[in-house]
Structures are given as structure tokens and as C-alpha cells.
Structure 1
């Protein structure tokens, strides 16, 4: 059996709103529409962009016939991406929405998160039942974010909470209202690079300083996931919210074995500092955290990749993703070609179906 005949869930697909904030105005009150007039009509972006992908990271060949940016037309995405690759479900997370973390104004961030959610519910989810949404929240105000989760999180087409990160580690009790609401509704928390890291005061910072090029910045993304997972672990979030799951999308996974070994070793030496962790830390991570396959790291030898997948227990933790329509899309036909069939089935479908609660919907 080859990948094209397997059931496939793409766990990281990025839709786009043409016009940026201007395209969201029908989903705002008149007063907020006025607030975003003029210079506020565009979400801030990082100055370091992919050098071969034009002004954005979106591939030019994904531009729909109707015009606009790649990823902006749900009908064309169905024809260009879902149908040719036999994708049964596409998990939509708007990195465009994630840029709201660059805004210091809490009211603006809350308004934009709600507008993005209502836009995709209106324009995308009724087009094809294969589209499922990771709804966005503004973590600036976790109480309001929890209200937004409870407003729409019970809908069948909402399968995750996309939590763009400010520069506060995820174990901080600041986020507890969000975790409570997500756990209550059985929704995993999704984190993903937003394109604002290291460029704005409110956005996540890189360790050691500010990268000076796109290649440096892109190479350092795993720092963000590593720091936040360690925070979730040692602050006891996995113990406080035992049913809550997390997905670290587009941060890679080859660094995970090193992290698991390191936290276990430190726990054996310093476990008095975290008495709430009654098991080895690696067990909590393997139980609660998942990772997407894209961007797939390609070691010198194929067997090294298989060894890494075994080390991270990929049959439980890795979810296939393409990152469509971005410049570094990984397609199912060319991803994990030499894996054992049982592991491929878990990665390409089963792990995501379990995380997003899609088995019952099949």
C-alpha cells in the first residue's frame, strides 16, 4: 500500500484572508471597523521573510484562479490540495491570525481573534466537510479567550484551540482559564510559529538574542517549543489538567529525544523541586504532547530518521502535516516513504484522528 491509498489527515494547513484586517471587517462591530481604519488595517509582520518566496511565505503556484493569495480560496484548495492527495481531513490554523500577538492592545487582539474565527466558520467550514478548524484565541486576556472557546468550541467542525504565544511561558498560571475551557470541551491546544517571533515586544523571544536572517530564525524555532514544553511539564500543567493534549506544529521533532533524556536525568537529581511529578517527566510529555512531521528533517542516512522516530515513539506522537500553501510544503507521496506500514498508518491518520476526535466523525 502506498501513501496515496492510505487515509490521510493533514494536521497543518494555513488558510488566508484576502485584504488582511480589511477582509475581516464584516465580522466586526462598526466601532471596531472604524478603529482599524488606515494604518491599523494590516497586521504587523516580521521583516525577515523567506528569500525565495516573495513578500510572504506562500507559494505562487497556489494562487487561485479567482485571484488573491494562495490559501485564500477554499474551493481551489480543495481542488489543488485535498483531492489530488486524498486528504480526508485538513486541520486549518491561520498563521495570519497568529500575528495578533504582535499587538499590545488587548481589545484589538480579542476582536481580531473572534473575527478570524467567524470568517473561517462562514467562508470555509460549509464548503467541504473535510475542513476542520483550530480556532484562534487572544492569550492577552485568558478569561476572554476562555469565553471564545466556550462560544464556538462545541461545534463539530472546531477540533483544536490555536494559541499564538506571547512572551510568557505556557506553564504560567496566566493560561489556566484557556486550559480549563479547552479541557472541558475536549479540545487540544495547538501552538505554531506566528512569524512574529523576536520582532515585537509582546511576541516570543529567541534564546540568546535576535536572529539577523531568515535562515537563522527558521533554524532556531525548536527553542520555542522546547522551552514551553519544559514549562508545561515542570509547572505541573499536565498534572493539573490530566485530560488536556498539546500539539507543537512546525517546530520539528528531532530535538525531542534529547529533551526527554535531559528532563528525566534532571528529575532524578532534582525531583524535590517538582514533587507533583510522580513519574519520569518523559512519560508526561509522551502522554500529553504531539508533534507534526513538517518540516521533515532529513539526516544523512535513512536509518537515522527511523531511529529518531522510534526514540520519540512516533506511533503515538507524530502527526503528518504538509504546511500547505507555504514554500516548504511536504507532500504525502514523498514523506516517510521507507517507514514500516503500521507506523505510517499511525502517523498519517490514526494519531491525528485520536487527537482531534475525528474517529467518531468518519
Structure 2
């Protein structure tokens, strides 16, 4: 099928072969010595065996060797050129695993190393690559310093914030939001593969899942709780230019959370006197969601209704999730949309969010 739209892919995951070992040129000698013997980033105990081969499509493996998504030249050929993608937003789930480290110095060193790696090894290869720099939220003031350091580099368009078990509306994160707003960078949140598995990572609602499929199904809980927290705690009042992208958390739940927030605001608005309009209005103005994983209701008309209820023309952004096993391609995603809505989802909403117009 011919792809008529210009496309921005808001969720592409580059990989570094060797994990921490691949970061050696970007770590200080003392920090490299510090990590000696611990070359693998922690992974969730529920992830299936051979996680690298099961989560990353085998057909994305580059001719040069290594895992899918590890060769920026091959990703250009296999994804950007093939589907005529104008910009690809790089967010490293691999880097997101640094949230498992209780030692803030280790976490900050890894965040900086990941950022420098992608700035030097990916953004120099092709101008279509754009980067969501990663920060360690262990010490928000240091994270803000990293945003002001790496966030000024050409091609940086967002801040990837792997989450602690502290809701995003908490003032703990304010230094990060201040720095991001100052540089005009949206905050990107995304599953890190560590949720519910480590003391420092985000907890799952109601308890600890006992299987991978259960945990994977529960991902929307993370975004739901944090967005509600940001709205009611007044984050978007305090930081009126701040934007947030919830990537890979789904979107079919968005209408119900807007309705529920508005209903409760009408009943309990005296608890949040800083909100001068319906909570849903803050969500529509400040929060965006990615299309992958595309949710497939029983009837096609239900998807159209969800789009209408969530104001998809403003809030939904196309993403592939390349090179993961469940990624979506632009030639078979939302193929029956009206041209105007398709243009908004595949290009305009992302161009506005990431300042790419």
C-alpha cells in the first residue's frame, strides 16, 4: 500500500551491543572500573528467557551483526528509507533500566554515557534521527543539570524520564520539569521493562503480577496514575508550557480517565483550587499518546469512536516501536482514516510536540 502521509515515528528503540560494555568509551576510567564485572543492566525476572531475541525481531538483525536496532545505518535502510519516515524519535528502553540502580552516582553516570553514545553514534549518521535524552531521576537536581547539558545538543527533542515509584505530580520532579520547560523539551515516559520488579521501579496497582503477560497487560496503569497525579497536583499550572508523551501505554482508556477526572472535579474541586478549568482540558492541552500498540476492538467503528472521544486529532501520535516483536508499520496502521485525521496522527501532532515544523 502506498503511504501518502509524511511520517514522524515517535518511538524507535536503538540498542547498544554489550550493554554497559558498549558504553566504555563514554564512561570515565573510574566509573568503568566501578562497573567492572557488572556489564549487564538488570532485567525483569518475569521477562521470558533469551529476552533480547524474544523482544527484538530477528529479521531486524543487521548484516554487520549484533542485535536488531544496534546499527544506525541499517535502521535507516530497514525503517526510515523503507517507509519514508521523515524523523525517528530515539528512546532507549535499554537506558531506562538504569532506574533499577539504587546508587544515584551509577545511575547518573549511565544516563550521561547513554546520551553521549547516541549523540555521537546515531545522530551523526542521519539527520532524520532525533533523540529523547535519558535522565536518572534519583537526584532531580542532577537530572536537571543533565537536561541543560545534553538537551542543548542539535537533534535532541525530548527528555526520557524512567520513573521511580513516586507519582509524577510530586514536587520531587519539579527541577526536571523546570529544566525541560526551559529548553522547550517534552517529557517522554515509556515502560522500561523493570516495572513491578525492583524496589526503585514503578509498582503495579494492586500487587505484583505473577506472569509476563499479566504485567504487560497492566502497563496502562502506570500512565493513568501518573497523568492523573500531574493534573490534580497542578503540574501544568506551575509549568504551563510543559508537554508529556506517554509512549506505549495504550490509548483506549483515555476517554474514561478524562470523564472520571471531570466528574470528581465537579464534586471535590475545593481540594484542587489551583485548577481553573476542567481536568480533561489540561490533559488535552499537555498530554499526548503513541499509537503503538494499536488496540483492536471487535468492530472497526469502535476505534473511530475512541478516536473521537479522546480527541485523537490533538492527542494521538504514530509510532512503530521498532525493532520490537509487536511493532506496527505505517502501511498497515489506521489505513481507513480520513486524510485530515491521518495527517494529524502520522505527522502534525508529533511535529508540534517535538518542535519539528
TM-score range, shorter chain: over 0.9
TM-score (structure 1 length as normaliser): 0.97
TM-score (structure 2 length as normaliser): 0.98
Aligned match for 1:169, one of 167, 170, 184: 167
State the Cα distance separating 1:156 from its structure 2 match.
2.9
State the Cα distance separating 1:14 from its structure 2 match.
0.1
Aligned match for 1:348, one of 330, 346, 349: 346
The aligned residue for residue 24 of structure 1 is 23
The aligned residue for residue 281 of structure 1 is 279
CA contact (8 A) 1:53 1:327 kept: no
State the Cα distance separating 1:48 from its structure 2 match.
2.0
Please, which runs of 5 or more residues in structure 1 have no aligned partner? none
Give per-residue Cα distances to partners, 1:8-30, cap 9 Å, x unaligned.
Answer: 00000000011100110110110
- How has the CA–CA distance of structure 1 residues 113 and 54 changed in structure 2, closer, same or farther, with 3 Å as cutoff? closer
Give per-residue Cα distances to partners, 1:95-152, cap 9 Å, x unaligned.
Answer: 0000000111100000000000000011000100000000000000110110011112
- Counting matched residue pairs gives 357
The aligned residue for residue 7 of structure 2 is 8
CA contact (8 A) 2:168 2:226 kept: yes
Counterparts of 1:313-328 in structure 2, within 5 Å, are: 313-328=311-326
Aligned match for 2:87, one of 81, 86, 89: 89
The aligned residue for residue 183 of structure 1 is 181
State the Cα distance separating 1:355 from its structure 2 match.
0.2
Aligned match for 1:117, one of 109, 115, 118: 115
Counterparts of 1:63-102 in structure 2, within 5 Å, are: 63-102=61-100
User: Which SS does the other structure have where 1:41 is aligned?
Assistant: coil
Distance 1:135 1:269 in 2: 40
The aligned residue for residue 258 of structure 2 is 260
RMSD of aligned alpha carbons: 1.2
Give per-residue Cα distances to partners, 1:24-59, cap 9 Å, x unaligned.
Answer: 011011000000000x21110012225797655111
State the Cα distance separating 1:154 from its structure 2 match.
1.8
Distance 2:333 2:70 in 1: 25
- How has the CA–CA distance of structure 1 residues 197 and 44 changed in structure 2, closer, same or farther, with 3 Å as cutoff? same
- How has the CA–CA distance of structure 1 residues 44 and 53 changed in structure 2, closer, same or farther, with 3 Å as cutoff? closer
The aligned residue for residue 108 of structure 1 is 106
The aligned residue for residue 200 of structure 1 is 198
Please, which runs of 5 or more residues in structure 2 have no aligned partner? none
CA contact (8 A) 1:198 1:206 kept: yes
Give per-residue Cα distances to partners, 1:193-240, cap 9 Å, x unaligned.
Answer: 000000000000000111111111111000000000011011100100
